[in-house]
Amino acid sequence: MRPGLASLPGIYLVWGADIAASGLSGPAASSIASPPMQTFSSLPGGTSAPNTVLTTQAVRRLHLRLIPDGWLIQAPRPLTGAQISAARQLAISSGATIETKSGELGLGEISDGATAFGILLALGVLALTVGLIRGEAAGDLRTLTATGASRGVRRTIAGATADVIGLLGAVLGTAAAAIAAAAWAKSGPSAMFGGIPAIDLVLIVAGLPVAAVGGGWLLAGRDPAAIARQPME
């Protein structure tokens, strides 16, 4: 389930009697360099979950023997604290360990929440920016009103301003994040950018400007408090 893993260099499928002691070059271990891999997002993504698995065909072709190393148990309802404590004591007495998880957010849910929070934060900064621009251009807006500009014209100007700033911010922010990720990544680009949800990227690049132009258009219909007049000297 790990995006980009198949394209990373130095990937080996290793098996043998004592891999830790023999290493890749020892007689007790065998290996296949760059084994064929397929990516499935339906596999579990937890650290202790089976997120990288071998096919039964590979087990047969390599003449491997399956040895139980752990058990994944799914309870029909959340476990109580007493049940978890009793299970942990039982595992300790047998020389084993257990790990319990419940109610954790998936990677997709975390990504969607971060995207929504980022868009809301950007819209807040955008609203402040457009408000400052409108404050500086208040005299021009009063002049437009005095010359017969309708409310729709003022809405269009404010919406277009918000749209341009929102689009520029989305594009520059996405480009800066991509450059920073590429500079920080120690692996290949496919491994770094392979797991980015396309829908979240579309929401940031396209949804932010659309929300900006809608908000600017709706909130810019008020008439100016006074009409600008040329001061007399």
Q: 153, 160 in Cβ contact below 8 A?
A: no
- Tell me phi and psi for residue 16, to 5 degrees: 160, 180
Instruction: Kindly state the helix (H) or strand (E) to which residue 56 belongs, with its residue range.
Output: helix 56-61
First to last CA, the chain: 76
pTM above 0.75, yes or no: no
Q: Would you tell me the crossing angle of helices 208-218 and 151-184 to the nearest 10 degrees?
A: 160
Contact 198, 137 (CB under 8 A): no
List, for residues 204-226, the tens digit of each pLDDT value.
Answer: 888 888 888 887 777 765 555 55
pLDDT at 26: 47
The residue among 130, 195, 141 whose CA lies nearest residue 164 is 130
8 Å CB contact between 16 and 22: yes
CB distance 167 to 209 below 8 Å: yes
pLDDT value of position 125 = 82
pLDDT (0 to 100) of residue 107: 62
Sign, CA torsion 187/188/189/194:
negative
Task: Round to whole Å and give the CA distance between 112 and 129.
Answer: 26
Residue 189 has what pLDDT? 58
* pLDDT value for 13: 87
Q: What is the signed CA dihedral for 221, 227, 228, 233, rounded to 10 degrees?
A: -170
* Torsion angle of the four alpha carbons 209, 213, 215, 216, in this order, in degrees rounded to the nearest 10: 130
How far is 29 from 14, CA to CA, in rounded Å? Answer: 7
How high is the pLDDT of residue 22?
46
**Residue ranges in the chain modelled with pLDDT below 50:** 22-23, 25-27, 227-228
Tokens describing residue 223:
């008439």
Tell me the C-alpha distance between 150 and 5, whole Å.
58
pLDDT value for 20? 54
